[in-house]
Structure 1
Amino acid sequence: MAIELIFPPQAMQQGFPKLLEQMNQSSLYSYEIEGIEARLEWSKMVGQGSVRFAYLRPGLQISIENHQMKEKLVMQGQHSHLDPWKFYFLVSGELSGVVDRSASPFTLKTGENCLTACSGDRAQMTYYDHQTYLAVTILVDPWFLKTFLEEQSGLPQPLQQAMKTSAERFFHTGATSPAMQIALHQILYCPYEGFLRQIYIESKALELIVLKLAQIDEQISPPKHNVTLQPQDIDCIHNAKDILLSNIESPPSLLELAKKAGTNDYKLKIGFRQLFGTTVFGYLRNQRMEQARQLLLEKQMNVSEVAQTVGYSSLSRFSTAFKNYFGITPKTYQKNS
């Protein structure tokens, strides 16, 4: 059995709060609207958790979903070129969907994202039962993006086409990069309230938009580097990655790592940029922070023990690094999680 939510035509142009009022599915959820924010709470018979919505400014909206369904949830809707572009970042869970009845289905997993523009006449998304979903959605009106552009020259060609009234659908999926993960965690665990919170969330939403557009541009545009990695080089880079992860408390120097992996430091630096989108020690920092976050969530260690486990001898340096990465101190993160 599946729960179906069918959005009316031009639904996304109205914004989340008006959409909730129009659909009025009181048997499935309750909702409340206060100022620029709205909150949907699933009824206990269909699931648990909520979806929070907010207008950040005209043309820019955000939602944060944190919920689990008891039955499969299928959402359907009709879309047009006037609808906002949908930037969707899935932090946990797995879902499937289709952007048009003539298009192939897609699957989105934990740590992946997608951009949908100019969807077809029967877009659909399916959430599965007994999975915990944590996701951030940013809706951006095309005219809002145009305010940043001169003749749309700053966008990849397919997205320039998506701006036009005669545009066909545009859909792109990708892995959520470490930089995206940082911005997402800063949104999910925003340390501010009121006016400061709104400014902070808006800045991070714009950052995610930039990172996603840059990801698309990088994948669509011709490579800008002249170094081609051979299969044996790629094997060495992955070997270096494994060595780093095995020695996360006390990692080798760059030269030592290159020697142990069977390559040189130049190819090591180029390889990490190409394969992982960051520097060698940028990758190490990302892994340390993610491991620290997981350990704090498990609550089997205190903050000092977590710091030592991920290679920080100084608690203050660890706290500073964690806050710079996630936008919240490790102590507060552990307390609130």
Structure 2
Amino acid sequence: MSQIDFHHNFNQFFDGLEIKRMDSNRNEQLLLPSHIGEGTIRRFIPRTDIEVIVSNYTMNRERTISLQTEATMVELQYCLQGTREVSIAGERNEIVPGICSLQLIRQADARFEFTGNSTYHMVSIGIPIHTFHHFMEEGDGTRRVDFSQLLGSQDYGCEYERITPAATIRLHQLLEASLMSSTRNIELECRAMELLEEAFQLFFSNPRTSHAKKMSRTDKQKVKQAREIIVQQMSDPPSLLELSRMVGLSDFKLKKSFKEMYGATVFGYLREKRLERALFLLQQGKLNVTETAYEVGYSNASYFSEAFRRKYGVNPGSFVRQSERI
């Protein structure tokens, strides 16, 4: 099994859809046969150990694809539209829009069930195990996250989370890039790596949480209260000294404990939440960029735009235009 390329797992799925593809693994646009449905699967291999799949198609009728995965791999998947049933190694899951899933796969039987006249829009990123372990290696050469330890004796494991605001931005950027014939592999690799990094941070525990365990239950509650206050009052938050008095901690202890629990300073955390809220508001389309800036607590729209660009890699105005196109 170790000699089988992880791309083979994707090839089996394409074969299940009766899609004509190249013999070798390469970037290509795959068309769904007309007797099965309508739409495309855009396949990108920006480097030999990363595969990116952008699917957007509609099935004519109900269809089930059964296969056996023959290569161990990690797959990160974002469901943007369409609900489907997936069963791997006997574990049955419903994949719904707005969900991000991280799947750890050994050799296992897989079954995919599609509903007729439903549109499916998904983004998947697959990597082999040696690449996963390379990404998990830390600066001192150690690796606290291991594929075998995560799966144990099981052949399949899957974790789910809501698609985060940061991932939404990066997905928009990847989808934009995938539509342009001039996009180079290096850009697609960068977009995929950003999504993988964000997902690994989301799914795997942060070492900083071990320090938070040493805090008393009372102090944890006070820090949580402080977090709730700054999020609820983000447009006009209290100063650090005012906040510490409100929750009954010294400003020094609040600063130290907050960072241990949330991995960021009080106002670094607030900045992130402001930008996440701004992203949500811009997606709703009810406020313009300036109104959004004021709504989340920025008195200067230019400063807001710069902070938004540093976090998401795109200006808020450009993001609004991208959202309207995709």
TM-score greater than 0.5 by the shorter chain: yes
Instruction: Give the Å deviation of 1:296.
Output: 2.2
**Which residue among 240, 247, 254 is the counterpart of 1:254?**
240
- After superposition, the Cα gap between the structure-2 partners of 1:223 and 1:12, relative to the gap in structure 1 and judged at 3 Å, is same
- Following the alignment from structure 1 to structure 2, what is the Cα–Cα distance between the partners of residues 93 and 271? 42
Equivalent residues in 2 for 1:8-157, closer than 5 Å: 13-14=7-8, 16=10, 20=14, 22-25=15-18, 36-38=27-29, 51-65=41-55, 76-80=66-70, 82-90=71-79, 97-101=86-90, 103=91, 105=93, 110=98, 112-121=100-109, 123-124=110-111, 135-145=122-132, 154-156=142-144
- Count of residue pairs the alignment pairs up: 315
Deviations 1:133-187 (A, max 9, x none): 764321112344567799xx74446415689xx9752524154667656644543
**Which residue among 302, 313, 320 is the counterpart of 2:288?**
302
Gaps of 5+ in 1: 1-9
Question: Is the 2:54–2:121 Cα contact (8 Å) retained in structure 1?
Answer: yes
Q: What's 2:187 paired with?
A: 200
- Following the alignment from structure 2 to structure 1, what is the Cα–Cα distance between the partners of residues 291 and 34? 40
Instruction: Give the Å deviation of 1:96.
Output: 5.4
Deviations 1:179-235 (A, max 9, x none): 65664454345599666653233123234434545556537x796426534443343
Aligned to 2:102, the other structure's residue is in SS state strand
Q: What's 1:4 paired with?
A: none
Gaps of 5+ in 2: none
Q: Which shows bigger deviation, 82-91 or 35-44?
A: 35-44
Q: Which shows bigger deviation, 239-248 or 204-213?
A: 204-213
Instruction: Give the Å deviation of 1:236.
Output: 2.8
Question: Is the 2:79–2:97 Cα contact (8 Å) retained in structure 1?
Answer: yes
- After superposition, the Cα gap between the structure-2 partners of 1:215 and 1:25, relative to the gap in structure 1 and judged at 3 Å, is same
AA at the equivalent of 1:142? I
- Following the alignment from structure 1 to structure 2, what is the Cα–Cα distance between the partners of residues 169 and 56? 28
Q: What's 2:297 paired with?
A: 311
Equivalent residues in 2 for 1:157-196, closer than 5 Å: 158-160=146-148, 168-173=154-159, 175=161, 183-184=170-171, 186-188=173-175
- Following the alignment from structure 2 to structure 1, what is the Cα–Cα distance between the partners of residues 242 and 117? 46
- Following the alignment from structure 1 to structure 2, what is the Cα–Cα distance between the partners of residues 53 and 256? 53
Aligned to 1:77, the other structure's residue is in SS state strand
Aligned to 1:218, the other structure's residue is in SS state coil
AA at the equivalent of 2:218? Q
- After superposition, the Cα gap between the structure-2 partners of 1:133 and 1:261, relative to the gap in structure 1 and judged at 3 Å, is farther
AA at the equivalent of 1:296? L
Deviations 1:53-91 (A, max 9, x none): 3111112111234678898776543113x2432122456
- After superposition, the Cα gap between the structure-2 partners of 1:212 and 1:37, relative to the gap in structure 1 and judged at 3 Å, is same
Aligned to 1:225, the other structure's residue is in SS state helix
Deviations 1:17-48 (A, max 9, x none): 7853x34548xxx999xx713255697997x8
Question: Is the 1:13–1:84 Cα contact (8 Å) retained in structure 2?
Answer: no
AA at the equivalent of 2:193? L
Question: Is the 1:296–1:334 Cα contact (8 Å) retained in structure 2?
Answer: yes
Q: What's 2:268 paired with?
A: 282
Question: Is the 1:291–1:310 Cα contact (8 Å) retained in structure 2?
Answer: yes
Q: Which shows bigger deviation, 64-73 or 255-264?
A: 64-73
Instruction: Give the Å deviation of 1:252.
Output: 2.1
- Following the alignment from structure 1 to structure 2, what is the Cα–Cα distance between the partners of residues 119 and 67? 27
- Following the alignment from structure 2 to structure 1, what is the Cα–Cα distance between the partners of residues 299 and 178? 26
- Following the alignment from structure 2 to structure 1, what is the Cα–Cα distance between the partners of residues 314 and 33? 28
AA at the equivalent of 1:258? S
Instruction: Give the Å deviation of 1:113.
Output: 2.9
- Following the alignment from structure 1 to structure 2, what is the Cα–Cα distance between the partners of residues 233 and 120? 46
- After superposition, the Cα gap between the structure-2 partners of 1:23 and 1:335, relative to the gap in structure 1 and judged at 3 Å, is same
